[in-house]
Amino acid sequence: MEQTSPSPRSVAAQTIAVLMPRAEAVAIPLGALCVGFVVFSLFLLLVGKSPVEFFALVWKAGFSSAFSWQNTLSRVAPLILAALCVALPARLGLVVIGGEGAIVLGGLAAAVMGTAVVGMPSALGMVLMMLAGMVLGGLWIGAIGALRIKRGVNETISSLLMAYIAIALLNHFVEGPFRDPASLNKPSTTPLVEGLRVGDMSFVSAHWGVLVGVLACIFCWILIERTTVGFAARVAGDNVRAAQVQGLPVSRLVIGFTALGGAFAGLAGYFEVAAVHGSANASLIAGYGYSGILVAFLARHNPLAIIPVAILLGGFEASSGLIQRRMDLPDATILVFEGLVFIIILLSEALYGRLRIFTASFWEAR
């Protein structure tokens, strides 16, 4: 551009030219979400149900009132933390899908620590419980990163299989060494004393795990986008060879990021025990680790995007019951819907850089 005094029109075009490439990252997932809505609506019409009613119920159950928000937010904490367990390794190009294992073991460790810290000041006890959950979760997923880097074991398969081992360990310890003898027909660890329970936040009826999850997302975003460690991780994620040639500590990055992800999943387990169940038992195996995969992919592994996506997903799942009851659809309906959106989001990955409307040159030419 060699104009001496740019016309207002071209200033606008310039601004748009700067903004549009950034808008791409928001517009494509949103567009994919809308396509998902449309395809799912066609599916509903095929089975003779009303899409309008479906989305009205999702809105009513998930977002329309204070109660709906409480219902939605109560699911958000484990979703956010489980999603971080997928998103952090993903920035290094690793697909870890076994966060469920870290959640159940984190919950177990927290519950066992909870019985050991009785008598200590409750703030100290809570911190120790939290640490126990995070350390065990971190070791569990960190081990998957270590196996990947030291032995070339595929992290997707190993994390999934280790989730089964984790669940078996949980069952073993809950039914054996750490079983509260009073828990006759539902083997559980000894219930936490009242002082170690996590309550609801004062301003909204959802437990403190939600706020901790949001803070964890902000922390991860700063770590990835604003620190040299995060920069090194992104380089290694884009091209491992290049990162190694540059002398970046790829092994330590992989183990560190997987361990950090695992620590957050373990933290999710801690909150499930301290805020919801009050002890560790088989109810910890609730599938949050798997829903977290969906959240992380929808958020394209961006920690800040995880927050709204987790809320959206939480709202979808909050509406599952109302849809069963009012529309007489099976409970799998929401899963079909989520699966459909998931696939369309994955397909939309191919669109990045291909839509001219989002390129600077498209707008500069105007």
The verdict on 31 binding another protein (CB under 8 A) reads: no
The verdict on 292 binding another protein (CB under 8 A) reads: no
By the 10 Å C-beta count (0-12 exposed, 13-18 middle, 19+ buried), 365 is classed as exposed
Q: Name the amino acid, one letter, at 116.
A: A
Q: Minimum distance between the CB of residue 45 and another protein, rounded to whole angstroms?
A: 6
Given the complex with another protein, which of 57 and 248 has the nearer CB atom?
57
Three state DSSP letters for 34-66: HHHHHHHHHHHHHCCCCHHHHHHHHHHHHHCCH
Find the distance separating the first CA and the last CA of the chain, reported in whole Å.
11
Among residues 14, 115, 171, 359, which is the contact residue for another protein, using CB under 8 A?
171
Total interface residues for another protein by CB under 8 A: 46
The verdict on 282 binding another protein (CB under 8 A) reads: yes
The verdict on 199 binding another protein (CB under 8 A) reads: no
The verdict on 160 binding another protein (CB under 8 A) reads: no
Among residues 71, 159, 291, 333, which is the contact residue for another protein, using CB under 8 A?
71
Q: Name the amino acid, one letter, at 192.
A: L
Q: DSSP letter string over 275-294?
A: IIISS-BGGG-SSHHHHHHH
Among residues 8, 48, 119, 247, which is the contact residue for another protein, using CB under 8 A?
48
Task: Mark the segment that binds another protein (CB under 8 A) among 108-116, 170-178, 227-235, 260-268.
Answer: 170-178
- Please tell me the distance from the alpha carbon of residue 148 to that of residue 11, in angstroms, as a whole number: 50
Among residues 31, 43, 304, 326, which is the contact residue for another protein, using CB under 8 A?
326
The verdict on 45 binding another protein (CB under 8 A) reads: yes
Q: Minimum distance between the CB of residue 130 and another protein, rounded to whole angstroms?
A: 19
Given the complex with another protein, which of 44 and 82 has the nearer CB atom?
44
**Which residues touch 313 (CB under 8 Å, ≥6 apart)?**
75, 79, 291, 294, 295, 298, 338
